[in-house]
Amino acid sequence: MKAREGAALVSEQEALQSHFDSIVATVTQDAEQLARLSPRERWRQAVAEAGRLLEGSRGRDEDEIRQTVADDIAQRQGDPMLHRPDTLF
């Protein structure tokens, strides 16, 4: 925050709170939509996301890239569906 006191501080706080609330609403909506997916739709979505992750990765060979992406997802406690062997193909 840049403002230290007065109306500028209140205004900046309100803007930050509004931005935070919009992020929370988006994440909540995404989680609710994900919960409504069938297992097959969920798997297809995970395969598409895995493909996007692999496209943006560079490495010596394809197996190394897949292992690196899977390890990173697991380490960050990401979506378990993404680091399954049948998803990162």
d(CA 10, CA 61): 53
d(CA 59, CA 51): 15
End-to-end distance of the chain based on CA atoms, in angstroms?
A: 44
d(CA 39, CA 31): 15
Sign of CA dihedral 84, 86, 87, 89: positive
Q: For the chain, how many structural domains are there in total?
A: 2
Query: Are residues 81 and 53 part of one domain?
Result: yes
Which tens digit of pLDDT belongs to each residue from 3-42?
Answer: 778 888 889 999 999 999 999 998 888 778 877 888 888 8
Predicted TM-score (pTM) of the model is 0.47
Query: Are residues 73 and 59 part of one domain?
Result: yes
Query: Are residues 54 and 75 part of one domain?
Result: yes
Which tens digit of pLDDT belongs to each residue from 56-84?
Answer: 777 778 888 878 877 877 787 777 777 66
* Domain residue limits at 13: 1-36
